[in-house]
Every structure is written in structure tokens, then in C-alpha cells.
Amino acid sequence: MKFLLLMLLTFIHTSFAADIYNPANNQLSIPSVQVGSTTYNNVVVTVGNILSIGSSSNQNTYIRIQTNVGSMDFQLFPVSAPLTVQNFLNYTNAGFFNGTIFHRVIPNFVIQGGGYTPGLVPKIPTLPAISLETPNGLSNTLYTIAMARTSDPNSATSQFFINLVNNASSLDYINAVNPGYAVFGISTNNFGLGAQTSATINTIANTATQTVGGFANVPVTDVVIQSIKVVNN
């Protein structure tokens, strides 16, 4: 194993983009490494001493969430949350979110979507669940976007939520027992649409809700995600 680690470290130079480096735990997530005749997939290497690392190739990743009540722009943070951002972009690029709804709206807390279509029909299939990336230096503050999950920390797939207030005290990492929720982006005015983004978020937050079956806080009128697209990378 020590020999394998040494071999892997010899590959960690210009072959790997900085956006797969997680500074919170000094780890590099490497999709695939060839060692001799053997290929190792999804390799994670803990680096004890970083001498230097180049700028991320996709530091400025922006997405636009277009809904039937307006659009929202967010900047994603692939350096701080590489696995989470890549997971979200995988769904985005596949068009998975198109036609899904914000199925959970709780004023002064969060709006949540990405998992159901109208009628609360689950959107399937989802990709494999990802590992929780907390703490990652990002916090569940106002208008940040984070991954939803079950009680299992490593269960996030496609569902995400937008913080309507500063939820850092209740949703951020505390310890291994309370690992929090992984933030991976924040609303942005990079394209001059900051007011529109805030207006759309607030429109969704103020929509009337109801209980449907076992689902509480469901909008009476569907808030549909028409598309999510990368607008600048």
C-alpha cells in the first residue's frame, strides 16, 4: 500500500486540476490512475504537505435555475466542494432537473427540490449517493445552495435546497454526530440578475403550501424547474 501511495504521488502534478483538491482535509480525489498495468478508479489521496497548487480550471462555475416563476443564478465552488459540485453538474448536464419541482417550501428556513416531478412522482433513476463534504469552509448562510440528504450523511443524490435565512447554527457541521449539510454554492449577481434571483427565491418562499399524503410544506401550485444550465465556466 505504501508503494502504491508513492506511485500515486508521482502522478500528482500538472496531470490533475486543482478543482479536485479539497483544502479542508488536504485530499485529492482522482478519477483514474494507471499504475503499471493496473487502473485504479476513484482514488482519494491525503496529502501531508502541499508545496503549491495551481488555480482551479473551473473556479468560476455559474448555473442558472430557470423556473416557471423566474430564474436564479448561483456560483458554485468546485474547490471547496469538488465531489458535490461535480455530482450536481452531472445531473445538470444530463437534463435530469428539467421538469422537477420545488416540493418543500418552509418560509424562513429552506426551499427544496430536485427529486420529484408534479404529483410528487419521484424522478428516477438517480446517480449513486455521494460522500458528505463537510466541513468544507462553506456555511449554510442566506441564499446558499446545499445538498439535501437523509439521516445517513453519505446519502445525497439529486435533491438540493436553498437557504432562505442564515441556517449556519442548525445546518452546519458540528461534529461527527452532527455532520451538517454540504454547501456548494451561493446566489450571485455576476450577470446583473441579483435582484431577479432574490425575487424568484422570495416568490417561491412565499408560495402557499399544503400537506399531500406524507409530504408537508408542498406548494399548492407547482413550482417547476424548467431547466438548470451552466452559464459560464
Q: Do 21 and 100 lie in a common domain?
A: no
Answer yes or no: is 150 within a domain.
Answer: yes
Residue 232's pLDDT is what?
75
Q: Do 33 and 101 lie in a common domain?
A: no
Q: Do 37 and 124 lie in a common domain?
A: no
Dist. CA 49–CA 54, nearest whole Å: 15
pLDDT in tens, 174-191: 999 999 999 999 998 776
Answer yes or no: is 8 within a domain.
Answer: yes
Q: Do 37 and 109 lie in a common domain?
A: no
Q: Do 26 and 104 lie in a common domain?
A: no
Q: What CATH number is associated with residue 224?
A: 2.40.100.10
Q: Do 95 and 205 lie in a common domain?
A: yes
Q: Do 30 and 76 lie in a common domain?
A: no
Answer yes or no: is 56 within a domain.
Answer: no
Answer yes or no: is 130 within a domain.
Answer: yes
Q: Do 142 and 39 lie in a common domain?
A: no
Answer yes or no: is 54 within a domain.
Answer: no
> What's the domain range around 34?
2-46
Answer yes or no: is 51 within a domain.
Answer: no
Residue 2's pLDDT is what?
41
pLDDT(122) > 90? yes
Q: Tell how far CA 31 is from the center of its chain.
A: 18
Question: What percentage of the chain reaches a pLDDT higher than 70?
Answer: 72
Question: What percentage of the chain reaches a pLDDT higher than 90?
Answer: 69
Q: Do 38 and 72 lie in a common domain?
A: no
**Within 13 Å of residue 136, how many CA atoms lie on the same side as its CB?**
25
Q: Do 30 and 107 lie in a common domain?
A: no
More confident site: 54 or 95:
95
Answer yes or no: is 53 within a domain.
Answer: no
Q: Tell how far CA 68 is from the center of its chain.
A: 22
Residue 132's pLDDT is what?
98
pLDDT in tens, 41-72: 566 655 444 333 343 444 569 999 999 999 99
Q: Average per-residue pLDDT in the chain?
A: 83
pLDDT(30) > 50? yes
Q: Do 201 and 226 lie in a common domain?
A: yes
Answer yes or no: is 55 within a domain.
Answer: no
pLDDT(20) > 80? no
Q: How confident is the model at residue 137 (pLDDT cuts 50, 70, 90)?
A: very high
Total count of domains within the chain: 2
Q: Do 90 and 198 lie in a common domain?
A: yes
